[in-house]
Structure 1
Amino acid sequence: MVIFVPLKPEWMRSGSYLLTSGEIPLGYWMDKTYNIAPDFSWFIYSDNEKELSFLFSHDQGKTWQKSLVSENAQRIRYRKAQFFADGSGVLVYSNASPEVSSEGLEIFQTNDFGKTWSRSNGTTINQPVQNVSFVNPTLGFVSTRENLYYTNNSGSSFKEAVVTIPADYQTGGLDLFQTPNEVTQVSTNQLETKFYLLKMAGIDQGKMFACLYRSSDNGETWQFAEQLSEVKPTE
């Protein structure tokens, strides 16, 4: 089935279309800036480099609706949306400035699958935003190349999380918490995610591995659980 989407591809690449690892080639897109599914398809875009809009369909693309996220989304770089089963969702974007390394992070929320959006919070992150992952509309995580921050109040405030790195690993080479990794809730009191660590000893010295981490305190601290698979630089 062919679906017609009433937007231009370049509208999805508005602003600075860069990740912390570099520019995204033409034909590739930032993770979770769009979704195509029978019951809910959507796209984040800007057709004028100022307003950020949300295009969505609930009928396999037969009809589309547009909603305004922000009237002042200039110098946008990182962007992402996440939705939950009850129709609530979070959309975030960062504002980049060529003069400083810090970025502004804007947080918007919806309770109706993106028909309407309201700005819930905003903050400044001291380095370029690398990944944002919300477990629910209240609990979310923001990472840079070196640090992981968490909020338990929908972004009203962020605190730095403590990530325990085993002695024979270190961060470096790739972003610690790299898209498409997400923080997931596996039980009432436990969160899981994958961090990328560089092995510093043994036969795998110098190789990068995805490592499973767990938290039992809503993301305030993270403990190493096990080494998973090797990660190539292109992944």
Structure 2
Amino acid sequence: MGHTGIFHYLASGDAVTRSVAYLLFAMSVASWCFLLAKSWMLVRAKRQGPRALALFWQASTLTDAIVVIRRADSERIFVPLAEAALEAGQVHASSPLLARVDMSERVTRALRQALTVSRRRIEFGHVLLASIGSTAPFVGLLGTVWGIYHALTSIAASGQAVIESVAGPVGEALIMTAFGLVVAIPAVLGYNILGRLQRQLSEELDGFARDLHAYVCAPGTGKEAAHHSRDTQLQP
């Protein structure tokens, strides 16, 4: 047993063998760290979302609603949309050209930009899991192929081409393929699970954006935004 096993394989391997092993280890650490951090963030956002939106629509004014949702939405998933809606609803005296743009178009553009910001936050790093899940098996296969080639070359040089001398090195090389699968499977599962949470949050964001657009563009709402804009300009 002292001359077989993964440790003997790494010790007897060359720079390519060790590089593949270190790369798989780094990919595994990166995927698990991202999975834990991203799962925590998405689960919190999914739980806070309904309560944050309920408190938002219970407020008397849009300004008060933004203050409430900032406290309830600690992950800042829905806050950018509310802030963008209030900002778009204000008629700035310093921007006469922007003030001539139709209210609906101005709010739509602002909400679309805020949706992009929120979606980038919830989708950040998702490509990493997809990349690890799709490439890790091939990285492990590369280690296996190179290990078998290295082992057969050594056996051919020694002239001892018997089954005992071939089975050990080839079996050790096949471990790299198993390591590649061990790295890839959690990444693929995490990609699918987190993707489902992201789609649910994205649907809630779309609904919140539509409700904000209808509220800000409703008759009489512009007075509140204009009043808030004057108060902001009068503050020292």
Q: Greater strand share, 1 or 2?
A: 1
| TM-score scaled by length of structure 1 | 0.18
**Larger RCO: 1 or 2 (CA < 8 Å, sep 6+):** 2
TM-score by length of structure 2 reads 0.18
Q: Which has the higher helix share?
A: 2
